Amino acid sequence: MDKLKPILSVDEQIQHLKDKGVRFEIMGEESAYHYLTEHNNYFKLTSYRKNYTKHPDGEKRGKYIDLDFAYLVDIAVIDMQLRYMIVPMALDIEHNTKLQLLRKVEEHSEDGYQIVQDYLDSLGANQKAIYDGEIDRNRGNVYCGDIIDKYDGAFPIWAFLEVIPFGRLISFYSFCANRFADKNMKNNFYRLLTCKEIRNASAHSNCILNDLKARTASHDTNAGVTNALMSIKGMNTNFRKNRMSNARIQQIVTLLYMHKEIVTSEGVHEKESKGLHDVLTRAFKNNDYYKNNPMLKGTFDFLKLVVDSWYTHE
């Protein structure tokens, strides 16, 4: 293990940033002190430094290039607003995924009890133990404990969907996709897995815009998402490939795609469209901050292009 780092006082945190080349011109040291004391913690805020490069050599070797403390604060605000959009959009996707499952079960004339039992019987010992733990944790829950008490041991699908977490829902969705030999559902399964990652990060208040460099994604973008992106007017292939090779942007855009595809309510779309456009408006509020950072500027330009195309708003 590396040597443990000492806890720094706020004054020491500011001095450390100055030693690393961070400027305090737009937001002075006094304002920065107040911000770090009252509004955000040093560890979270400074994670956004990953989006900036350092001088490779010379007198300023190891110091950040063109980084003001205010830039970090600005990204933190945009990040927060984006997270606050992702969570409700993920809830919309979860709700409509359940509706789709119920429709599919009806279309295939499935027994609502048997399909749940068949799914549970398909689980290996380890997954079955995890599932049992999920149910046990909700016993006595004020919101769904009564459903478990009523149906425990023989859940119909309409009750089952109300007591399982999002991850279990996706697992059950995959089971149904295979049972129905439904190609679109199988594609949605992989997209839902991607949505779950960004949803969990946002719900736990993890930073999501703090590492936007290219080639961090562990897998290629889903073909349906790629095709939808390439149909956007003005979308450049290299621009798309570069931005979508970042794991975080890949997850965000996949969630935007799934919401566009699976959520049917016009009212919900209008609400989320307004919220997304508000976030992008905020992202461009201090556009001058990012004129010398092509990675950040390119990310905001890319997200705006996608949102403007997929989420029209009056």
Confidence (pLDDT) at 147: 95
Give me the pLDDT at residue 145, please.
92
* 3-state SS class at 46: helix
| Rounded distance between C-alpha atoms, residue 37 and residue 33, angstroms | 6
The answer to whether residue 313 scores a pLDDT higher than 80 is no
Closest C-alpha to 82, from 200, 166, 207: 207
Q: In this model, does residue 3 exceed pLDDT 70? A: no
- Alpha carbon 97 to chain centroid distance? 17
In this prediction, residue 301 carries a pLDDT of 96
Per residue in 7-51, pLDDT (tens digit) is 889 999 999 999 999 999 999 999 999 999 999 899 999 999 999
At 246 the three-state DSSP class reads coil
* Residue 256 · residue 308 · CB < 8 Å: no
Structure confidence by residue, pLDDT tens digits, 75-97: 999 999 999 999 999 999 999 99
State how far the alpha carbon of 257 is from the alpha carbons of 90, 146, 223, 245, in Å: 11, 35, 12, 16
- CB-CB contact of 299 with 249 (8 Å): yes
- Residues in the chain, how many? 314
**Position 314 confidence tier, pLDDT thresholds 50, 70, 90:** low
Residue 134 has pLDDT above 70, yes or no: yes
Q: Is the per-residue pLDDT at 140 higher than 90?
A: no
Place of tokens 């006082």: 9
For every residue of 270-289, DSSP letters joined together read HHHHHHHHHHHHHHTTTGGG
